[in-house]
Structure 1
Amino acid sequence: MIESIAHIRKSDGIIQTVEQHLLEVMRLAEKIGSKLGIPHVTGLAGLLHDVGKYTQEFAEYIKQAVLDPDNPPQGRKVDHSTAGGKLLFHMYHQRAMQSPSAQFFNLLAEIVGNAVISHHSYLKDYYPPEPEKGFLHRVSVKEIKNFELTVEMFFEKVMSKPKFEQYVLQAVKELEQFIKSDNNQPYANIMFLTKYVFSALIEADRHNSRAFEEKISIEEQLSQGEHVQAKFRRYYDKLTAYLQQLELKQGESEQIYFLRKQLSEQCDIFALKQSEVYTLSIPTGGGKTLASLRYGLKHALEYGKEHIICIVPYTNIIEQNAAEVRNILKEHEAVLEHHCNVLLEDESEDGDEMEDGIMSASQKAKLAMENWDAPIIFTTMVQFLNVNYSKGTKNIRRLHQLAKSVIIFDEAQKVPVHCVSLFNRAVNFLNQACDSTIVLCTATQPALDSVKHPLIMQDKNEMVDKLQEVADAFKRVELVPQIDHELTTEELADKVHEQLEQVDSVLVILNTKAVVKKLYNSLKESIDEETCVYHLSTSMCARHRRSMLRIIRGKLKAKKKIVCVSTQLIEAGVNISFQTVIRSLAGLDSIAQAAGRCNRHGEHRSRYVYLIRHKEEKLDKLKEIKIGAQITERIIKEIDQDVKVYGGSLDSQEAMELYFKQFYQDMNKELDYEIKSSGHSIVNLLLDMGNSNPYYKAFMDRAEKGTPPPLMLTHNHLTAAERFHVIPDLTTSVLVPYGKGKEIITMLNGNQKIADLSKLLKQAQQYSINIYKQELSSLIQQQGIVSLLDGKVLALKDNMYSKQYGLALDGEGEMEFLGW
């Protein structure tokens, strides 16, 4: 008799049977699938995912692994994920049926089957470069020992065959309805649907495994998160009460104060409109963070949304905005911050596999990974794109949380150029299929509806009335191009000195970290002792930058002489105001954002933003910045030649619209995420069915003429995911010994409970930086890095981090400091 063991709880040796685990995961997955009207489709994945554990080989394996930890099985991992996909494929794929729904049985077997066989790694290719690594090989060719006995056990212990067939029939009906609901493009969203089913399975499986370990019943698991509407009502009441009590700040323009209130009220009224893709073009300094949150809470109450997800371009904005919202709501757990993944992904195909009931340190870390289960979530554009396209299970696990949500893209113009098509298609899916409302929130709206794969937006989708009048009312700086002569670092330092003779505060924004650091060092050596000089870059962790910004704001408030030298990270969403800004030439959107750090609250009638060209900036590898700067320079010259064009202003709506259209046209080849090594794109591999996929085309070219394709779907999920990186030069996240980060590094070396580990990993995100491959190699050579949690987390040694610059590859960081 085969023993039924899915997991063995390490604390007390209690067994979770396979049938218990399958049925509980099915119920959890059904709940997730119901948001899209496909509970039986996702439930079917949960029902079948661990069928392969019905073998004596697996039972013996897990007992030895858990009950005899001193002698764990060596090289004996049992494939228990293939059986469920194989069962479904053999029963329903290409079966002879005289029914118009026959194709939907095939699609169901391919979609759900792929999720099942892949739930310890990542979705497989349907037509892979190497056939033995694809979906069809796993479900049709690969031999599974005692497969018939495993299937017999499933129908005996989990669900009878007649009941199972009824369950599958219901799933087919849901799938057919889902696909036919989009009359214009009935198969446009099927790739994302496959990912959603996969996400539902991963979440349900991981959640149930953790709940079993923590002795949480299935009823408790299903009831979690059901009362979000009551929370949103409470948050909305607190936010509106706070906004009503806001008073005019010292030094703030009365006109801007009342304009902010009017814009916030417009957002509140607009929230009554149905779920679509909207733009919120509040000018910089117009209070868009709270105005968009007010919209989100009101809209969530009106239309039953489950999350408000705020997506920003930079991690430092998360810190600032989340802190502001927590301060208003007075409920810390209401807001989740997710900056980056501090856990490393294994490179092997099954690198995400949990070790079948063995709760090691790395497994605890995987179970503790954030799944975005909070009412209000702040995260980054990198994380949003990773959720939709990156390899492994830790990212895609969160995809289902994006459904039935209000998703606010703060500084929407910061979508990476090579991801524009992928971003647009993902957002279209979330809006059209997942009942999510999308808000593109920025003073500089990108022309995302003008590209080959456009963002689909309805007419009259702008929330702000009389937009140009509002923009003119917020105008408080003059852009002054001074680009005829390239400046060296020494000449730029002289220019800063000249400005300090006229004003108290100067912000310099340059395009590369190298020139920022060089100018900072030059100013530190040449500037008088009464003037404070500060440096900001992404080489510093989020907590470090936040501390620096707090100090800088204090100096500004006290009207001290101050210079800040920064990369563009300070441009988006940082609530700070200098009297003068010097900006190295870049895209017009970046210049507009830089201008938002000057005279931000209208403290003075008008101030100046000087545009310069820096001689020492190396932009050859920064194509987006280089092309953006070239287009901006052309617009500047056109205005010089004819003052009537673009309303005679570099920061007009006409100039910005032309800039983005020209920018996307010049970057056209980059928009689909070109894979340079092959000449193909990720759009070809994922988003278009049929001959645009090179691997499908190659397969059909080799096949005998007239032979039908063996599979309906053609998406190359794994091949695309392996090549997808939001930052093309792949980076690694490492913890840094700054402030509490030092304590977190020490604690992660200990034996933590899952709940404690989850808390630590949340905190660790604020004390991490992303480093490039060559930087990681240098750190390894210098023995400047340590590994934690079985190698899942990396951390810098003390001397590799500096309180001035952040990452210190020369090993000259401070050995002992706690930060500010």
Structure 2
Amino acid sequence: MKYIAHIRESDFENQWVEVHLLGVQKLSETFGNKLKIRHITGLAGMLHDMGKFTTAFLEYIIEAVHHPEISRKAKKIDHSTAGGRLLYHFFHTGKILREKGILAEIVGNAIISHHSYLHDYMDPELKSPYLYRVRDKQEVIDFDKSVQLFFKSVMSEDEFQQYVNEAVNELKRFLDIPSTFTREKKCMFLTKFVFSALVDADRTDTRRFEEGITEEDEKTPCTKRLFQTYYDRLMVEINHLANVGRESRSDINQLRQEMSEQCDQFARRSTGIYTLSIPTGGGKTLASLRYALKHALDSGKKRIIYVLPYTTIIEQNAAEVRRILEDDAHILEHHSNVIEDDQDDETDETEEGTKNVRQKLKLAKDNWDSPIIFTTMVQFLNVIYAKGSRNIRRMHNLCEAVIIFDEVQKVPVSCVSLFNEALNFLKDYGQSTMVLCTATQPALDFVEHRLHISPDAEIIQNLTQVITSFKRVEIKDEASHKSYSNESLTDFIQVKLADKRNMMVVLNTKSVVKDLYQRLSSTLDIPVYHLSTSMCASHRKEILDEIRNLLDRKERLVCVSTPLIEAGVDISFQCVIRSLSGLDSIAQAAGRCNRNGEEEIQQVYVIDHAQEDLKHLHEVRKGKEISKQMLIDMRLNPNVHGGHLLSLQAMRGYFQRFYLDVSTSLNFNVAALNVTMTDLLFAGYENNRYYQSYFENIKQSPPLFLVNSYRTAAEHFHVIEDKTTSVIVPYGEGKNIIAQLNGAERIEDFSRLMRKAQQYTVNLFPYEIRELDVNKGLDICLDGQVKVLKDGAYNEEYGVDLENDSWTGGFYF
């Protein structure tokens, strides 16, 4: 009898189980080579669907294709437990060899979880969901028969034992790599990497079968040749700008050229974690791209990933890079998951035979395998720590990469430790080079779970002198001695506009931004613009383009914005007003003033806004307190903090005090469980709360080498405090995308439309979703998988027209 893994929807062609297992094994081995663990990942690939070697599954999948309305009501067939159970019975019972036991737990967890998310070895209820699946679960149909058929059809038992021995040797070498990581930390990252490789291999092999294509059909160009072409095109642009700079005899242009050349020279350094502290307006985008391409060529990196805090910067930088490199096909923008996958669970695992919308979306190519990727900090952190197989699927592609963290100071406080550990893993084990790229470097090496920044890490030489040369603004303290309302701020703006053509005002919350915009619109006789995260990315881009056009023509205008405009947006105003916040935010806002040194020194006014409600914005409130004290210090003694607020000394001192003040929050507290995320993921026997409680209650250790709580941690992880939902809005092309999604049939159509939809989404909080529901402002498409806004719920001025005092902690993803 032949056993079926999948039946193609278009022509009812069968994919046999052994063909699928060997195909996934091959892909998994390829992905595992990045960590030199090809047999470990290959073991997961060859065993993941072993449970499909059963008559029950064969009957189910045939019924699912021909009678889907009946099969959806039928009892689901568990086919993912069998592979993990085989490893447990072979290598985790009787006389257990330590490394084989750990291997069985790591690979077995990935196998039993490949339709959902990694299981806890020990959970808050002091139970082991992992052990339940591989040891205790009763409803594992024809397990012994599946084992026999596996050894008959896929690999003989002798060959299998030899393959496992190779995997054990790889595990030993991996655990012996010199590092400050504990065994638990090494095993956590290893388990997630194996899981990532398996999920991507499984979905890739299934998608290729469903679309009737082969690996050869998807061959991408040689990365080394592609990067060389990119580098040559970039140098044409840089040389052109250098010639323009020489003609204008601009000191700033000369400095930009020198820093760009320093990036090129520094790229010869080995894999590591480095800092690129180019001042605002110093040509950071092109300089970092030059470094990344040169380093990738010299060290054989496979991709370049830009991680940014705002989609506004993604669109701007990606468009610039596409123009220079003359390539659209190989540059990916990934803003957000339009469809969340945290609903994945074991009940999905047999619905693949029905090829419903949800399954097609799962198979869509969404694994970050492009040569150049632009994404957000939220998405980067979600890849490693958030629940959902769509997130973790991308993790293996973070290895052998150059990763540029633009505006790295925007890492949320609660995620600092997790961010640092992720980067340490990618450097020490994943052979990736990270560059922390910002004019306001945070002190990430100052905290408990510190970042292992390489020695002599700064790429730019004589940084203090460079910062002095780039000085184009002066900070005017309007905050340490008085406060403003929107009414008095309107008066203040009118006074300053007597001498200035244009002005940018950055406030901390959406409600005060909207109110000030309305006041100014009704008061001033010049154009006034509004920007906030209630507007989709495409909408914001159009507004920014209009503003830039007016600025280029030297016309009068005012822009009122939430902080989204201040990190990396290439725009320059004569005057900036910034509501008091963290020193890094003030410095970034200052970077939008006289950005290119067009005029003499210009002013950035820092005000204390009395009407901003910061009770839910803890980081903003804490940063505001420290910055205000620094302003008071300088009012009393102008020579402190390096003599000015934008000095290296001031920034380093600010971040050290900031991280000291919030030190209890850096490890991501899970309030509901009274435990930290780092404890759930990294704690060993001696300090693992659940293990200790189990031992006290049972008076013996659980039969496990690993006792961490991966699923519990993922379920509680969120980069921003309140989880948001992506909603497609009917703005511009968004209307057509919504219509096309409802008619899409092919997997590749879903992939294309999902990527396109990212520029037409907003992220809404639960209360906003509820309010829209009540007001009939929401609709759904794709069998309820995607939420969309109705026409009346999106405003051409404000975007989603709801009052909301949050701005997602500084991120729009």
State the distance in 1 between where 2:348 and 2:72 align. Answer: 18
Paired AA for residue 176 in structure 1: K
Q: 2:791 maps to which residue?
A: 798
Provide the residue aligned with 1:776 in structure 2. 769
- Report the CA distance between 1:39 and its aligned residue: 0.2
Name the counterpart of 1:524: 521
Deviation at 1:514, TM superposition (A): 0.5
Alignment correspondent of 1:689: 684
**How far apart are the structure 2 equivalents of 1:688 and 1:220?**
45
Residue pair 2:204, 2:365 contacting (<8 A) in 1 also:
no
- Aligned position for 2:120: 125
Partner of 2:58: helix, strand, or coil?
helix
Q: Tell me what 2:190 maps to.
A: 193
Matches within 5 A, 1:429-578: 429-483=425-479, 484-528=481-525, 531-578=526-573
Matched, 1:626 2:625: no
Q: How many residues align?
A: 800
- Identify the residue that residue 814 of structure 1 maps to in structure 2: none
Q: Which residue of 1 aligns with 2:37?
A: 38
Q: Would you say 1:763 and 2:756 are equivalent positions?
A: yes
Q: Distance in 2 between matches of 1:647 and 1:657?
A: 10
- Identity %, equivalent residues: 50
* Structure 1 residue aligned with 2:4: 5
Q: Which residue of 1 aligns with 2:645?
A: 650
Q: What is the aligned-residue RMSD (CA, Å)?
A: 1.7
Note the 1:807-818 alignment, pairs <5 A.
Answer: 807-809=800-802
Task: Judge conservation of contact 2:503–2:574 (CA < 8 Å) in 1.
Answer: yes
1:740-755 to 2 correspondences below 5 Å: 740-755=733-748
Q: Cα distance, 1:220 vs. partner?
A: 5.0
| Contact map agreement 1:799 1:808 (CA 8 A) in 2 | no
Residue 352 of structure 2, aligned match among 356, 365, 388: 356
Aligned-residue offset at 1:689:
2.0
Deviations 1:263-315 (A, max 9, x none): 11100010000000000000000011110011000000001000100000011
Q: From 198, 206, 223, give the equivalent of 1:209.
A: 206
* Distance change >3 Å, CA 448–CA 353, structure 1 → 2: farther
Q: 1:676-733 CA distances to partner (integer Å, 9 max, x unpaired)?
A: 12221101100222233322221122122xx343111122110000000111101000
SS of residue matched to 1:336: strand
Which residue among 782, 787, 793 is the counterpart of 1:789? 782
Amino acid at match of 2:6: H
| Corresponding residue to 1:411 among 407, 413, 422 | 407
SS in 2 for 1:691: helix
Give the distance between the partners of 1:353 and 1:498, measured in 2 at CA: 65
1:333 equivalenced with 2:329 (yes/no): yes
TM-score w.r.t. structure 1 length? 0.95
Tell me how far apart the structure 2 counterparts of residues 809 and 369 of structure 1 sit (CA, whole Å): 34
Give the direction of change, closer, same or farther, for the CA distance of 1:809–1:421 in structure 2 (3 Å limit). same
1:238-249 paired onto structure 2 within 5 Å: 238-246=233-241, 247-248=243-244
Contact 2:442–2:652 at 8 Å: present in 1 too? yes
The answer (yes or no) to whether the contact 2:680–2:710 under 8 Å persists in 1 is yes
Shift of 1:137: 0.9
Matched with 2:807 is none
Deviations 1:70-90 (A, max 9, x none): 543414211000000000111
Q: What is the distance in 2 between the residues matched to 1:326 and 1:458?
A: 31
Q: CA deviation at 1:68?
A: 2.6
Structure 2 unpaired stretches of 5+ = 804-813
Q: Identify which of 281, 292, 306 aligns with 1:285.
A: 281
Unaligned regions of 5+ residues in structure 1, if any? 811-820
Measure how far apart 1:585 and its partner are: 0.2
**Residue pair 2:51, 2:82 contacting (<8 A) in 1 also:** yes
- Mapped to 2, the partners of 1:225 and 1:599 lie a distance apart of 43
Which of 213, 228, 231 is equivalent to 1:233?
Answer: 228
**Structure-2 residue corresponding to 1:110:** 105
Paired amino acid for 1:189: K
> Could you give the per-residue CA deviations for residues 426-480 of structure 1, whole angstroms, max 9, x where no partner exists?
0100000000001000000000000000001122010000000001111100000
Q: Name the structure 1 match of 2:808.
A: none
CA distance in 1, matches of 2:382, 2:388: 10
Distance 2:44 2:466 in 1: 51
Q: Is the 8 A contact 1:61 1:73 kept in 2?
A: no
Corresponding residue for 2:258?
Answer: 262
Q: Secondary structure at the match of 2:748?
A: helix
Contact 1:268–1:298, Cα closer than 8 Å, also in 2: yes
The answer (yes or no) to whether the contact 1:122–1:392 under 8 Å persists in 2 is yes
Could you tell me whether the CA contact under 8 Å between 2:39 and 2:166 is conserved in 1?
yes
The DSSP-based 3-state class of the residue aligned with 2:482 is strand
Between 647-656 and 177-186, report the one with greater CA deviation.
177-186
Cα distance in 2 between the residues matched to 1:569 and 1:139: 48
- State the shift of 1:248 in Å: 3.6
**Between 252-261 and 782-791, the greater mean CA deviation after superposition:** 252-261
Match among 296, 302, 315 for residue 300 of structure 1: 296
Picking from 422, 425, 431, the partner of 1:426 is 422
1:727 aligned to which of 720, 725, 736: 720
What is residue 669 of structure 2 aligned with on the other side? 674
| Cα 1:351/1:440, change in 2 over 3 Å | farther
Alignment partners' CA distance in 2, 1:132 and 1:4 = 35
Q: Give 1:126's aligned amino acid.
A: Y
The answer for the alignment partner of 1:817 in structure 2 is none
Secondary structure of the corresponding residue to residue 712 of structure 1? coil
One-letter identity of the residue aligned with 1:689: G
SS at match of 1:333: coil
* In structure 2, distance between residues paired with 1:711 and 1:169: 20
Query: Is contact 1:277-1:457 (8 Å) kept?
Result: yes
- Displacement, 1:18? 0.5
Range with greater deviation from structure 2 (491-500 or 128-137): 128-137
Structure 1 range deviating more: 211-220 or 592-601? 211-220
Aligned partners of 2:288 and 2:161: how far apart in 1? 47
- C-alpha distance in structure 1 between counterparts of 2:54 and 2:417, whole Å: 45
Aligned partner of 1:527: which letter? L
TM-superposed deviation, 1:356: 2.5
Matched, 1:171 2:161: no
CA contact (8 A) 2:344 2:389 kept: no
Q: 1:194 to 1:226 in 2, by over 3 A?
A: farther
1:76 aligns with 2:102: no
Deviation, 1:644, is: 2.2
Moved more, 437-446 or 187-196: 187-196
Q: Please give the alpha-carbon distance, in whole angstroms, between the structure 1 residues aligned to 2:616 and 2:522.
A: 30
TM-score by length of 2: 0.96
Q: Which stretch has the larger CA shift, 744-753 or 210-219?
A: 210-219
Aligned residue for 2:809? none
2:629 maps to amino acid:
R
Question: Post-superposition shift, 1:141?
Answer: 0.7
Structure 1 counterpart of 2:706, from 707, 713, 722: 713
Kindly indicate whether the alpha-carbon contact (under 8 Å) linking 2:443 and 2:655 is maintained by their aligned counterparts in 1: yes
- The answer on whether the counterparts of 1:326 and 1:334 sit within 8 Å (CA) in structure 2 is no
* Separation in 1, partners of 2:547, 2:205: 47
SS in 2 for 1:701: helix
Contact 2:341–2:389 (Cα < 8 Å) also in 1? no
Matched residue type, 1:27: K
1:604 partner letter: E
1:348 CA displacement: 6.0
Structure 2 counterpart of 1:24: 23
Question: How far, CA to CA, are the matches of 2:798 and 2:409 in structure 1?
Answer: 28
| 1:665 corresponding residue in structure 2 | 660
Whether the aligned pair in 2 keeps the contact of 1:85 and 1:113 (CA below 8 Å) is: yes
